Amino acid sequence: LEVINPATNEVLERLDYATHEQINHQIKQAHQAFQNWKKVDAHERSAKLAQWAQLIDDHQDELARLITLEGGKPLAEAKGEVAYANSYVKWYAEEAKRVYGRTIPANSPSKKIVIDKFPVGVVGAITPWNFPAAMITRKMAPALAAGCTIICKPAVKTPLTTIKLVELAHQAGFPKDAISYIIASGKDAGDIFTNHSLISKVTFTGSTAVGKSLIESSAQQVKNVTMELGGLAPLIVHNDADIEAAVDGTIASKFRNAGQTCICANRIYVHEDIAEAYNEKLIEKVHALSVGDGLKEEVKIGPLIDNQAVEKVLTHIKDAQEKGGQLSRSIE
């Protein structure tokens, strides 16, 4: 696997894909680690998460640079993502101490009904490339807080951030096999995670179509699943809107990570009374955005992740033109 900088096409790293045998071995190791990790006191789990959070803070510049190098987003956005990612670790460091059960009144004075909570086991996580830090921590931190062990399959376009985060987790004191990663295709990881008897939970962030497939496969063993699937994001501008604020909000939504997030506005509805003024202001501000290598301070829009993403955008532009849309600037 070659990890490519989308801004320069430079090869950042060459990694080996894990074989099926290696993945199966890693799952077995994670299951063995679970037998000990689930017994660790909640306050100790909390302390390790807090230490991990501190290490992430200490290495925030390095992590942000990695995110920009392999994912392309501007460095300022990448720094924001590191803070966002670490907020999950900090949150679950506290929540680890609050895994409360319940006592329920029984129908007999000689009986007591108690609901206790136990970690489910080994978690298999599959994450997307567009938020390589935040999507990792929002899955790993709660799993570890609950007493589960976790194996993450990061997107092959942006694995370096995951590797660094797992390295920091090990420095924080988490057992090596309690938190780990694999380099594999999404299909290979999905097939193994959903069918392996030692994987108790599958979590995935990505497209609805893939999520449905993972749910269907997981159902064969009645696995616990958590899915965060594709979004549709209409943006509505009413006729009483502050046009300046509306345009700024549109740009913040639409152009975040070069428009490559699941909550980027993909349909914009503007009241006809203000449509012309809104369009003029939007075009003016969009033309002022600087595009280029995300490591450069003046750049506000980084590259699309790969040629396939470029072709997708060109297809959307062609479709819009065929339906009467007009370009405000040439795309040559």
Residues with active-site annotation: 228
- Select from 86, 84, 83, 91 the least CA-distant residue to 52: 86
Q: What's the CA gap between 67 and 168, in Å, rounded?
A: 16
**Alpha-carbon torsion, ordered 207, 142, 82, 68, to 10 deg:** -40
- Select from 141, 139, 135, 201 the least CA-distant residue to 169: 141
Q: What's the CA gap between 242 and 252, in Å, rounded?
A: 15
**234-237 and 11-14: which strand pairing?**
unpaired
Cβ neighbours of residue 247 closer than 8 Å, sequence gap 6 or more: 278, 281, 282, 285
Distances in Å between the Cα of 61 and the Cα atoms of 123, 128, 151 are 29, 21, 25
- Cβ contact 103:152 at 8 Å: no
DSSP state of 96: G
- Select from 147, 130, 18 the least CA-distant residue to 95: 147
Q: What's the CA gap between 266 and 313, in Å, rounded?
A: 12
- Cβ contact 97:43 at 8 Å: yes
- Select from 3, 13, 21, 27 the least CA-distant residue to 181: 27
DSSP symbols for 19-37: PHHHHHHHHHHHHHHHHHH
